[in-house]
Amino acid sequence: MERIDAYWRAANYLAVGQIYLLDNPLLTTPLTPEHIKPRLLGHWGTTPGLNFCFAHLNRIIRERDQDLIYIAGPGHGGPGAVAHAWLEGTYSERYPDISQDAAGMRRLFRQFSFPGGIPSHVAPETPGSIHEGGELGYSLAHAYGAAFDNPGLVVACVIGDGEAETGPLAASWHSNKLLDPTRDGAVLPILHLNGYKIANPTVLARIPTQTLVSLMEGYGYRPHLVGPDHQEMADTLDTVFDQITDFQQGRSDRLPMIILRTPKGWTGPGVVDGLPVEGTWRAHQVPLAKVRENPEHLAMLEEWMRSYRPEELFDDDGRPVASILETVPPGNRRMSANPHTNGGELLEPLRLPDFRDHAVEVKAPATQSTEPTKALGRLLRDVITANPRTFRLMGPDETASNRLSAVFEVTDRAWNAQLEPTDENLAPGGRVMEVLSEHLCQGWLEGYLLTGRHGLFNCYEAFIHIIDAMFNQHAKWLESSQKIPWRRPIASLTYLLSSHVWRQDHNGFSHQDPGFLDVVVNKKASVVRVYLPPDANTLLSVGDHCLRSRDYINVIVAGKQPVLDLFTMDEAIAHCTRGLGILPWASSDQGNDPDVVLACAGDVPTLETLAAAALLHEHLPDLRVRVINVVDLMRLQPPSEHPHGLPDAEYDTLFTTDKPVIFNFHGYPSLIHRLTYRRHGHANLHVRGYKEEGTTTTPFDMAMLNDIDRFHLVMDVIDRTPGLGATQAHLRQRMTDARLRARAHTREHGEDAPDIREWTWPDRFSS
């Protein structure tokens, strides 16, 4: 216990040093203002509690040879996490210039939250972390994600009482209903009540203890109360690790959890300038704020740091003394070095069945229909079969709705709660994870990927905005990780967005929002990829590509309703490899310069574009129309902006520099302008897309409401192609009339658009 206390004091000392000191790390001389950083930044309040947990967990690891990783929900406790990695030697292994001696300690202190140094949070730079904890709410979902399919692993997850107020965290407690005691690892939640957030008490610290215990029992855990006492913590940890074994061996149906109550800013200054600090919200950041200017504060800092008795903790060279080093677990058992926290080290490529085996046979383009996601579901089924322990499919109760049901031929939904006779496809260990929480799906998948596994998240398009902020955080994690040599690449996070804006027959306006793409494209080109495959074979090709990729966030938008098959598998592969291309069979420019370009991205916009091309061919057979479909949206950007960017010369050859381009887009039109504004022909580009018009109605009515329909596209061509406006007023009027009739028909009969398969195509006309 003494050694644990010494380790804890050492970690606390190193945390305070990081926040305050530029120099004199071992306090070998009395502190002077020159030793103090000019800007005091960091979060002390949560750190000593985090250090307390870490110190005690190390004993468990050593005594039980336990495979254990540690998630610090309060990421603001960054100085603590860094301190542990340094004490365990991992920091110096990852960053040799931060050696485990006085010189390294000085650099360790100096770099913290300093320009050009390391962030104040737990971050990708921090060895042993898969969780930043800057934006709060995701620690417990990350912990469960890490535990799935890791039967020997325990994930200790410290949850701050601030974080516990967030929605995602409040929902995460129920993750235990999807945990398989035998095939998954365990999660040990440690709810750390230090009582305060930035400036407020926390809710869970201010309800009666019995009420809090009821809450945890209601969430399905066995709660254990622990105060700020070494022996109590040690005894409780012994108990809970036994209870974890009981749970995993079927002797208990509940995981234990710990409610740890400590003062905020524990062991820090008690009273500063006459105001209580330790044990209040004033300890949240920097308890002594004027150390450089105020000699009294300086003296208090020195007293505070010396209270840890650094002379007992570090030798004259600044190395931790032997009794501290002996508390550190060996090698990969160190939480700061556990390979699960650098998932790329453990990552094995997916065994991928040949996606071409699932090809839809296409004898001629646009003559038959397939449900694209249904085809992808068959591929995913075989992926699951071939990778029974390393791939999971997440979805907020939408996997069947998104028509991926083929997966249920080989697996179930993970379910560890009560079963009823009428249930189908529910079982512990199922590969499909479904609760009605996009936050949990995202959080679990992040935790699963970050620990070296694979997965896919399927979601209704509009509601993926629920995890915009989580996407941002994961993208930033990847952006940072790519610059850290020792962070090994992990599997990409791939979204399949279906039930999209144009197919809201069942739902309506509130389910129509294609704007996630705009959020995605704000992130660095090195991590984001966006695909809009227009049919089943292109979706299969894109899906295979995404499942092979590393360190990206892939967004695939695809339909679940039947859409026209446009490409044979060979054509689909070629089209997806190019990312965009001309559809010769729908074009009438015969390889010559076109009069007008019809571009499209997304399944419904592509359908309407094809119908417009057919109408143009029928009514204006001499007009040279080029139809271009875009699958890989990033191809539209210049190569200077995105690695997928099409060279300007190729872009100009395809889209021309001077002809009108009518671009029919799946999402908000501005995104296409944004991607192409540097292109030569941009002034001639006219984009149609979703403009916030909609209700519960047919796709064709939706198209008309937003002017992306075939008739309106023909009108756009007439309006924008030189010469046509004057000569084709009659045709324009016919289109207007046709549109009104179609609208009235839909509204009278509730029926969708006429089937374009009956229409005349240029190549069929010429053959």
Per CB under 8 A, contacts with a copy of itself among 660-679 are 668, 670, 673-674, 677
Least distance (Å) between residue 281 CB and a copy of itself: 9
- CB count within 10 Å of CB 138 equals 32
* Residue of 497, 503, 517, 443 lying closest to 473 (CA atoms): 443
- Per-residue binding letters, 124-153, with a copy of itself (x by CB under 8 A): --------x-xxxx----------------
Least distance (Å) between residue 410 CB and a copy of itself: 17
Residue of 293, 311, 326, 397 interacting with a copy of itself (CB under 8 A): 397
Least distance (Å) between residue 159 CB and a copy of itself: 12
Binders in 326-385 for a copy of itself, by CB under 8 A: none
Size of the site for a copy of itself (CB under 8 A): 119
Nearer to a copy of itself, 206 or 306 (CB): 206
What is the rounded distance in angstroms from the CA atom of residue 33 to the CA atom of residue 388?
Answer: 60
Does 435 engage in binding with a copy of itself (CB under 8 A)?
yes
What is the rounded distance in angstroms from the CA atom of residue 619 to the CA atom of residue 617?
Answer: 6
What is the rounded distance in angstroms from the CA atom of residue 502 to the CA atom of residue 666?
Answer: 8
Q: Which residues contact 615 (CB under 8 A, 6 or more apart)?
A: 710, 711, 714, 735, 759
Nearer to a copy of itself, 307 or 472 (CB): 472
Nearer to a copy of itself, 42 or 287 (CB): 42
The window from 169-177, 447-455, 623-631, 721-729 that contacts a copy of itself (CB under 8 A) reads 169-177
Does 274 engage in binding with a copy of itself (CB under 8 A)?
no
Nearer to a copy of itself, 297 or 476 (CB): 476
Q: Which residues contact 299 (CB under 8 A, 6 or more apart)?
A: none
Sign of CA dihedral 720, 721, 723, 724: negative
Does 485 engage in binding with a copy of itself (CB under 8 A)?
no
Q: Are strands 255-261 and 186-193 parallel, antiparallel or unpaired?
A: parallel
Nearer to a copy of itself, 330 or 508 (CB): 508
- Per-residue binding letters, 223-252, with a copy of itself (x by CB under 8 A): ------------------------------
Least distance (Å) between residue 320 CB and a copy of itself: 26
Does 505 engage in binding with a copy of itself (CB under 8 A)?
yes
Least distance (Å) between residue 620 CB and a copy of itself: 28
The window from 36-44, 94-102, 229-237, 386-394 that contacts a copy of itself (CB under 8 A) reads 36-44
Binders in 519-558 for a copy of itself, by CB under 8 A: 519, 521-524
What is the rounded distance in angstroms from the CA atom of residue 73 to the CA atom of residue 123?
Answer: 12
Does 624 engage in binding with a copy of itself (CB under 8 A)?
no
Least distance (Å) between residue 218 CB and a copy of itself: 3
Q: Which residues contact 280 (CB under 8 A, 6 or more apart)?
A: 195, 196, 264, 265
Task: Give Cα separations from 125 to 13, 79, 93 (angstroms).
Answer: 21, 12, 13
Least distance (Å) between residue 746 CB and a copy of itself: 5
Binders in 182-211 for a copy of itself, by CB under 8 A: 197-203, 206-208, 211
Sign of CA dihedral 224, 227, 229, 230: positive
Q: Are 131 and 76 in contact (CB under 8 A)?
A: no
The residue type at 658? D
Does 561 engage in binding with a copy of itself (CB under 8 A)?
no
Beta partners for residue 154, in sequence order: 68, 186
What is the rounded distance in angstroms from the CA atom of residue 373 to the CA atom of residue 563?
Answer: 10
The window from 288-296, 334-342, 606-614, 742-750 that contacts a copy of itself (CB under 8 A) reads 742-750
* Residue of 310, 268, 245, 276 lying closest to 60 (CA atoms): 245
The window from 338-346, 379-387, 473-481, 626-634 that contacts a copy of itself (CB under 8 A) reads 473-481
Does 518 engage in binding with a copy of itself (CB under 8 A)?
yes
| Half-sphere CA count of 670, side-chain side, radius 13 A | 8
Does 426 engage in binding with a copy of itself (CB under 8 A)?
yes
Residues 464, 469, 471, 472: what is their CA dihedral angle, to the nearest 10 degrees? 140
